[in-house]
Amino acid sequence: MVAKTDDRAFSDLAIPPGELLAEELETRSMTQKELADRTGRPAQKISEIINGKKSITYDTALELEKVLGIPAHFWVNLEASYQLTKARLREKSQLEEQEDWLEFFPVRELRARRCIPRSRNKRETVAALLKFFGVASFSTLRQREEALLQYRITPKSKVSEGALWAWLQVGDIEAREINTAAYNERQFLDALGEIRGLTAERAQVFLPRMRDLCASAGVAFVVIKEFAKSGANGVARWVSTDKAMIQLSTRRRWTDIFWFSFYHEAKHVLDSEKKRTFVDEWGRRLLKGINDDAQAEAAADGFAADWLIPPDEWATFVASQASSRVCVEQFARRIGIHPGIVVGRIQHEGLVGYASLNDLRRKFVWSDD
């Protein structure tokens, strides 16, 4: 029988080189003892090679070349092929043992996005998932993610851990393909200032510019369509010691949530906690960290709010008690942001109801929807 891997065929029958050596001796009417005498090897070792209990080493291959006239590379390649086939058969068994993980991951969504190929064979799907995540086993993946993210999912969040990992991995793959300068905090702050002026633009305009500005400061910025139940609005982490990344989801389409999430994650980058990854949902932490730092989250919230609407401007606006549509639009125009950001803020702080002024809160339509 022949199996396939990476579009290349390989035999799933592990034939030890000793079998071919035994056939060669029979053809030559040569006994194992005679071969042992001619090679200077103990008869027991020749017997163990023929019975598949010992491997053919380079030295033995050279001796067989001298005695039998068959090139050493033939025996070396035969041994290597035998050992590789045995390893593949062990891998096949290990993949079958991991098939239960297929229920853990959003396999259908990953196929639809062409992250993994379609296959009716569960074992091949397991192998494709492992290749997608770049790990040898799912237990290794769990250890890596838990060490990297330092979290446990809160019971009330209704988040699929597998969907979250898939969303994070898609973002990581895309972020690594973005060429960035070495991270520079001063330049990133300058970029954040320029990006704020883009909040009134449409996504087709601001997204390419945001990516360029962030990349020039050493931050890869990506927007990745959410997976069902992946839960997160945004994540900030470090791809390398001099390259950070901010990943936002399309699950919350409102203008104010998008921009708040971006500046919230930007604060985590500025804090330069290179050993931690922050995964956030609007209004609260999606994931409760083992060493959860409430102050860091509060600081990120405050940074986002103050960067979008300067505190003194906000205080003046609140004091005026002006919350009509016209007042919101005029205020937003004066401070240079999208009016939906102002609406989100006054709704969040209870100055108006959540049903008020929603026509000013633009909803994004993402190109991959």
Walk me through the domains of the chain, giving residue ranges and CATH numbers: 2-97 (1.10.260.40), 100-144 (no CATH), 150-360 (no CATH)
Does position 217 have pLDDT exceeding 90, yes or no? yes
Q: Do 131 and 123 touch, CB atoms closer than 8 A? A: no
Does position 164 have pLDDT exceeding 70, yes or no? yes
Does position 3 have pLDDT exceeding 50, yes or no? no
User: How far apart are alpha carbons 26 and 31 in whole angstroms?
Assistant: 8
pLDDT in tens, 282-314: 444 455 444 456 777 888 899 999 999 999 999
Does position 232 have pLDDT exceeding 50, yes or no? yes
Comparing 176-180, 187-191, 279-283, which segment has the lowest mean pLDDT? Answer: 279-283
Amino acid at 338: H
Is 157 in a helix, a strand, or coil?
A: helix
Read off the DSSP letter of residue 352: S
User: How far apart are alpha carbons 32 and 30 in whole angstroms?
Assistant: 7
Determine the pLDDT at residue 229. Answer: 87
What phi and psi, each to the nearest 5 degrees, are found at residue 222?
-135, 150
User: How far apart are alpha carbons 290 and 150 in whole angstroms?
Assistant: 6
Does position 231 have pLDDT exceeding 60, yes or no? yes
Q: Around Cβ 180, how many Cβ atoms within 10 Å? A: 21
Q: What is the mean pLDDT of residues 27-50?
A: 92
Does position 148 have pLDDT exceeding 70, yes or no? no
User: How far apart are alpha carbons 111 and 310 in whole angstroms?
Assistant: 44
Determine the pLDDT at residue 147. Answer: 64
Does position 79 have pLDDT exceeding 90, yes or no? yes
User: How far apart are alpha carbons 173 and 216 in whole angstroms?
Assistant: 19
Q: What is the mean pLDDT of residues 314-329?
A: 89
Does position 2 have pLDDT exceeding 50, yes or no? no
Determine the pLDDT at residue 159. Answer: 79
Q: What percentage of the chain exceeds 70 in pLDDT? A: 86
Determine the pLDDT at residue 273. Answer: 63
Q: Around Cβ 335, how many Cβ atoms within 10 Å? A: 16
Comparing 17-21, 56-60, 357-361, which segment has the lowest mean pLDDT? Answer: 357-361
Determine the pLDDT at residue 9. Answer: 46
Q: What percentage of the chain exceeds 90 in pLDDT? A: 58
Determine the pLDDT at residue 54. Answer: 92
Measured distance between the N- and C-terminal CA atoms of the chain, rounded to whole angstroms: 44
Of these ranges, 251-255, 271-275, 342-346, the one predicted with the greatest mean pLDDT is: 342-346
Does position 151 have pLDDT exceeding 90, yes or no? no
Summary mean pLDDT of the chain = 86
Does position 243 have pLDDT exceeding 90, yes or no? yes
- Band (357; pLDDT cuts 50, 70, 90): confident
Determine the pLDDT at residue 345. Answer: 92
**Angle at the Cα of 151 (from 146 to 152), degrees rounded to 5?**
100
Of these ranges, 2-11, 300-309, 359-368, the one predicted with the greatest mean pLDDT is: 300-309
- Helices marked H in the chain: 17-28, 32-39, 43-50, 58-68, 72-97, 107-112, 122-133, 138-149, 161-176, 185-196, 203-216, 255-270, 294-308, 311-320, 325-335, 339-348
- Band (57; pLDDT cuts 50, 70, 90): very high
Q: What is the mean pLDDT of residues 256-279?
A: 82
Q: What is the mean pLDDT of residues 262-284?
A: 73
CA 20, 25, 28, 29 dihedral sign is negative
Q: Do 117 and 111 touch, CB atoms closer than 8 A? A: yes
Does position 133 have pLDDT exceeding 60, yes or no? yes
Does position 193 have pLDDT exceeding 60, yes or no? yes
- Band (91; pLDDT cuts 50, 70, 90): confident
Q: What are the residues whose beta carbons fall under 8 Å from the beta carbon of 6, sequence distance 6 or more?
A: none
User: How far apart are alpha carbons 29 and 34 in whole angstroms?
Assistant: 10
Place of tokens 């330069």: 272
